[in-house]
Structure 1
Amino acid sequence: MFRFKTKRVLSRLMYIYSGLLVASSFLSVHASEESNGTLQTTKLVQAQSEQGGLLSLSDVLTRARANDFRLKSLGIQAKAFEAEAKASDFLPDPTLFAAIQSLPTDTFEFDQEPMTQLRVGVRQMFPKGDTLSLREDINQEQVGLQTVKQEAYWIGRKQSIEKAWLEAWFWQQNIELISEDRVFLEQIHEFIQSLYEVGSKDQSDLIGAELELIKLEERLIKARRSFQKNLDSLNTLANETLTSTQLPKKLESFDTSTLTLAKSNDLVSSLQNHPKIRLINQKINIAKSKVNLTEQSLEPSYGVELSYGMRSGDNMDGSSRADFFSAGVSVQYPFFNRGQQSSQISAAKHRQAAIELERSEALEQARFTLKDLANQYDITRDQRVLYEEKILTTLGKQKHSAMHSYESDKGNFRIVSELFLKEQSAKVQRLRLLVNEQIILSRINYWLN
C-alpha cells in the first residue's frame, strides 16, 4: 500500500514539476514580450476610446475638458472683459443744467430787470488725451489674457491627468504581475506539499512557501489600493465618476520627436509660443498700455459748455428783449500735481520691467528643466533596456536552475524564494521604468508640444 501511494505521489510530482517549468519559462519571457507590444507608439487621441469598456487616456482627457469648471469660468471672464472693452469707448455723460439768473429780490418779477433770464444749458467733459482708446485696448488685451490663461491652465491640467492615468496603468499591470506570480507560487506550494507527504521535504519548506503566498497577498492589497487611489484621482480631475475601471493593456505612448528639440540649443525660440510664456507676454502688453494710460494724466482735459438764456419784458424803445446764447471752453491742466503724476508713471514702468524679468526667468527655468528631463529620459530608457535584455533574462535562468537543484535535493527553498523575490522586484522595476519614460515625455511635451 505504501508503494502504491508513493507511486501515485511521484506521478503527481512529475505533473506539478512540468507545470512549474512551463510557468517559469512563461514568466521569464513575459516581460520581453510585453515590452515589444507596449513600446509601439500610438497617438494619444484614438478613435477607439471605449472599445470593450476600456478607459483610454484620450477618453479621460475629453471628459475632463468638457467638465472643467475653471475653463468655463475663464471663458466667461473673457466675455466680461470684451463687454467692458465695448463700454469703455464712450464719453462721460453730459451735464444738463437750468437756472434763473439775476432775479430782482425786491419784487421777484421776471420782466423787471433786463438781465433777468431763465438759463438752460449743457456741459460736456472730454477725457485726457487717448484715455478712452487706451482703456478699450487694455480691456481687449484682458480678453486675450483670459484666452491664453485657458490654454495655460488646460495643458497643466492635461499633464496631471496623463500622470494619474499612467500611474493607474502601472498599478493595474502590477496587479497582473502579482496574479501571475501567485500561480507560480501556488504550484511551488503544491509541489513542496507533495514532497512533504512522502517525507522528501521538511515542514519548514512548506511553511516558507505558505509565507511567501501571504506576503504576495499583502502586495496585492497594496497594489489594489494604489490603483484605486489613482482611479479616484482621475475621477476628481474629470469631475465625474468614470464608469469604466479597466485600462487598456497596451500603454498609450507619447511621441518622442520632442526629445530632439529638448536637447537643442535653440530652445528659447521654441518656447516663445508656449501658453505660459504667451501669458507673460500678454501681461507685458497690458503693463505697457497702463504706462501709456498713466502718461495721459499729464495731458490737459477739456470741457465745453453751451447755454441759452430766455428773457421777458420790453426794452426802453418798446421792442422785446432778445434772448442770450453762451458758449465756452474749460481746460484742466496739471500744474500742481505734476510730481504725483510723474511718480505714478515711474511706478507703472517699474511694474512693466518686473514682468519682463519674470518672462526671462520663466524662459531660463524652462530651458534648464527641458535639458534635465531629456537627460532623465535617456538614463531611464537605458536602465529599462538593461532590465529587459539582461537582468530579467539572467534572473529567469538563475531561478530555473535553482528549481532544478531544489527538485534534486541539491538546493534549498530559501535560495528559490530569494530568486523569486528578486525576479518579482525586477519585473516591477522594469514596469516602473517604462511608465517613468512616458511621464518624462509628458513633462517634455508640456513645454514643446
Structure 2
Amino acid sequence: MFITLSRRAAWPPRRPRLQRTILALALAAAFLAADLHAQESLTLERALSLAQDRSRQLSAQDSAASAAREMAVAAGQLPDPTLKAGINNLPVNGEDRFSLTRDFMTMRSIGVMQEFTRADKREARSARYEREADSALAARELALANLQRDTASAWLERYYRERVRELLMNQRDEARLQIDAADAAYRGGRGAQADAFAARSAVAQIEDRLAEADRQTATATTQLARWIGQGADRPLGSLPNTDTVRLNQADLDAELAHHPQLTVMARQEDVARAEADIAQANKKADWSVELMYSQRGSSYSNMVSVNLSVPLQWDQRNRQDRELAAKLAVVEQRRAEREEATREHVAEARAMLQEWRSNRERLTRYDDALIPLATERTRAALAAYRGSTAPLAGVLDARRAEIDIRIERLRLALDTARLWAQLNYLVPVGHAATTVPAIRP
C-alpha cells in the first residue's frame, strides 16, 4: 500500500518536464520549418546559379577551348618521320629470277624520311589554334551572357504573372462581396434584379481572366524550368533592384567594347589573321631528308643513300600569292563585320536605355496618379451605391477600370523588367561595369 501511493505521488513532478520537452521540440520544428521555407525560396541570384551549373553549352565551349589548346601543341611539332622498306632491281626472268642475292643490282632497302617544317611555319600553325581557343572562351562568355539574360527574363516573367494572378484573386473576392450586397438589396426592395446579375457577370469575367493568368503563370514556370531544371515551381524570392543597369550611356561605345558577341567577332578576326600568317609562311617551301640503307648479296657491298627533297614553287604568283590574298581578304571581312556589329549594338543599347527610362517614368505616373485616381473612383462609386444615390453599374465600371489600370501597370513593369534583363546582362555578371540610375520625375 505504501509502495502504490509513492508511485502515484512520483508522477505529477514529471508532467512539467514532459511539457517543456514537447514545447522545445515544437519550437525547434517551427524554426526548422521557417529555415527550410527560407531556403526553398527561389531568388533571382539562385536561379542564375542553378542555370549556370546546369548549362551544357558552357561545358561544351570549355571542351572546345581545351581541344584547340591541345591542337596548338601538336601543330608546333615536326611531322612524324616516314619509315620506308622495299626491294629494288629484283630479276624476274633468267637464271637469277626472283633471287635476292645473285644479281649485284638487287638490294633490300630500309630507310627513314623526315620533313623539316620551318620553325616560323610551325609557330604560325600553333598560334592559329591558340586564337581558336581564345575564340571558344569568348563564345563561352557570350553563352553565359545569353544564359543569364534568358534565365532572368524567365524569372521576372513568372514573378509578374503571379502578381497579376494575385491582383485578380483579390478583385474576385471583393466582387463576390458585391454579389451578396446586390442580393441583399434586391431582397430588401432597394435594388433591381439586374444588379445581382451584373455583379455575377463581373465575377465570371474576373474568373475568366484569372484562368488566363493561371495559364500564363504555368507557361512562365515551364520556361523557367527550361533553364534551372527541377525546382522551378518553388516560391520566388523578392524582386531584385531593377532601378539601375550596368551601362553608362555617356560612354556606351567603351562599355560595349566588352560585349561578348563583339569579343567573339574580334577573336574570329584574330583566327583569320593567324591563317593569313600561315599562308605567308607557306611561301617558303619545306625540305625533306631521306636516309636509306640497302643490302645486297654477300658477294657485293651494301650501300647507303641520302636524298633531299625540295618542292619547287614555280608558280607562286597564281598559287601561294593568291592564297595569301584570299586570307587577307577574309581578315578585312571579319574586321568590317565587327565594326558594323559594334555600331548596331550601340544603337540597340541606346534605344533600350531610352525605352527603359521612359517606362520607369510611366511607372511613376501610374503609382502617383493613375492608380490612386482609379482607386478613389471605385471608392466614390461604392459609397454612392451604398447611399442609394448611384446604380451598381457605376461601381462595376469603376472596379473594371481599376483592374485594367492595375494590370496594365504590371504589364508595363514586366516590359521594363525585360529591358532591364537585356541591358543588365549584355555583359555577364562578374565583369566590371558602371551603374546608371533610372530618371524619376
Query: Under TM normalisation by the shorter chain, which class is it?
Result: 0.7 to 0.9
Q: Does 1:299 align with 2:278?
A: no
- Distance in 2, Cα, partners of 1:443 & 1:243: 21
Q: What SS is found at the alignment partner of 2:426?
A: helix
Tell me what 1:71 maps to: 58
- 1:301 counterpart letter in structure 2: D
Tell me what 1:398 maps to: 377
Tell me what 1:227 maps to: 217
Tell me what 1:429 maps to: 408
> Can you give the 5+ residue segments of structure 1 that lack an aligned partner in the other structure?
1-47, 315-320
Structure 1 pair 300/129, CA: closer, same or farther in 2 (3 Å)?
farther
Structure 1 pair 255/307, CA: closer, same or farther in 2 (3 Å)?
farther
- 1:272 counterpart letter in structure 2: A
User: What is the TM-score normalised by the length of structure 1?
Assistant: 0.80
Check conservation: 2:279, 2:320, Cα contact below 8 A: yes
- After TM superposition, give the deviation of residue 396 of structure 1 in Å: 1.6
Tell me what 2:256 maps to: 271
- After TM superposition, give the deviation of residue 258 of structure 1 in Å: 2.6
Q: What SS is found at the alignment partner of 2:425?
A: helix
- Distance in 1, Cα, partners of 2:334 & 2:312: 32
Structure 1 pair 131/90, CA: closer, same or farther in 2 (3 Å)?
same
Q: How many residues align?
A: 391
Q: Does 1:54 align with 2:33?
A: no
Tell me what 1:366 maps to: 345
Tell me what 1:389 maps to: 368
Tell me what 2:436 maps to: none
> Can you give the 5+ residue segments of structure 2 that lack an aligned partner in the other structure?
1-34, 428-432, 434-441
User: What is the TM-score normalised by the length of structure 2?
Assistant: 0.81
- Distance in 2, Cα, partners of 1:101 & 1:243: 76
Tell me what 1:441 maps to: 420
- 1:232 counterpart letter in structure 2: T
Q: Does 1:182 align with 2:161?
A: no
Q: Does 1:246 align with 2:225?
A: no
- Distance in 2, Cα, partners of 1:388 & 1:111: 107
- After TM superposition, give the deviation of residue 175 of structure 1 in Å: 1.0
- 1:230 counterpart letter in structure 2: A
- After TM superposition, give the deviation of residue 176 of structure 1 in Å: 0.9
Structure 1 pair 416/298, CA: closer, same or farther in 2 (3 Å)?
same
- Distance in 2, Cα, partners of 1:188 & 1:98: 102
- Distance in 2, Cα, partners of 1:172 & 1:116: 92
Check conservation: 2:109, 2:295, Cα contact below 8 A: yes
After superposition, the C-alpha distances for 1:219-238 in whole angstroms (9 at most, x for unaligned) are 11110100000000111122
- Distance in 2, Cα, partners of 1:112 & 1:302: 37
Within 5 Å, give how 1:100-179 maps onto structure 2: 108=96, 118-127=108-117, 130-179=120-169
- Distance in 2, Cα, partners of 1:384 & 1:328: 84
Q: Does 1:258 align with 2:246?
A: yes
- Distance in 2, Cα, partners of 1:313 & 1:394: 117
Of residues 202, 220, 228 in structure 1, which corresponds to 2:192? Answer: 202
Check conservation: 2:286, 2:311, Cα contact below 8 A: yes
List, as ranges, runs of 4+ consecutive aligned residues in structure 1 with deviation greater than 6 Å: 102-106, 109-116
Structure 1 pair 399/328, CA: closer, same or farther in 2 (3 Å)?
same
Structure 1 pair 205/100, CA: closer, same or farther in 2 (3 Å)?
closer
Check conservation: 1:167, 1:230, Cα contact below 8 A: yes
Overall identity of the aligned pairs, in %: 21
- After TM superposition, give the deviation of residue 279 of structure 1 in Å: 0.7
After superposition, the C-alpha distances for 1:148-168 in whole angstroms (9 at most, x for unaligned) are 211101211211111111111
Check conservation: 1:129, 1:301, Cα contact below 8 A: no
- Distance in 2, Cα, partners of 1:413 & 1:110: 119
Structure 1 pair 118/407, CA: closer, same or farther in 2 (3 Å)?
closer
Check conservation: 1:299, 1:333, Cα contact below 8 A: no
Q: Does 1:218 align with 2:205?
A: no
- Distance in 1, Cα, partners of 2:109 & 2:372: 104
- After TM superposition, give the deviation of residue 130 of structure 1 in Å: 3.0
Structure 1 pair 224/245, CA: closer, same or farther in 2 (3 Å)?
farther
- Distance in 2, Cα, partners of 1:245 & 1:113: 90
Check conservation: 2:245, 2:424, Cα contact below 8 A: no
Tell me what 1:345 maps to: 324
Q: What SS is found at the alignment partner of 1:177?
A: helix
- 2:292 counterpart letter in structure 1: S
Structure 1 pair 132/278, CA: closer, same or farther in 2 (3 Å)?
same
Tell me what 1:33 maps to: none
After superposition, the C-alpha distances for 1:100-156 in whole angstroms (9 at most, x for unaligned) are 556788664878787765544322222366332222222222222222211101211
Question: Relative to structure 2, which stretch is displaced further, 121-130 or 147-156?
Answer: 121-130
Q: What SS is found at the alignment partner of 1:329?
A: strand
- Distance in 1, Cα, partners of 2:198 & 2:386: 16
- After TM superposition, give the deviation of residue 274 of structure 1 in Å: 2.0
After superposition, the C-alpha distances for 1:197-228 in whole angstroms (9 at most, x for unaligned) are 11000101111111001101111111010000
- Distance in 1, Cα, partners of 2:418 & 2:289: 66
After superposition, the C-alpha distances for 1:35-62 in whole angstroms (9 at most, x for unaligned) are xxxxxxxxxxxxx996163222222222
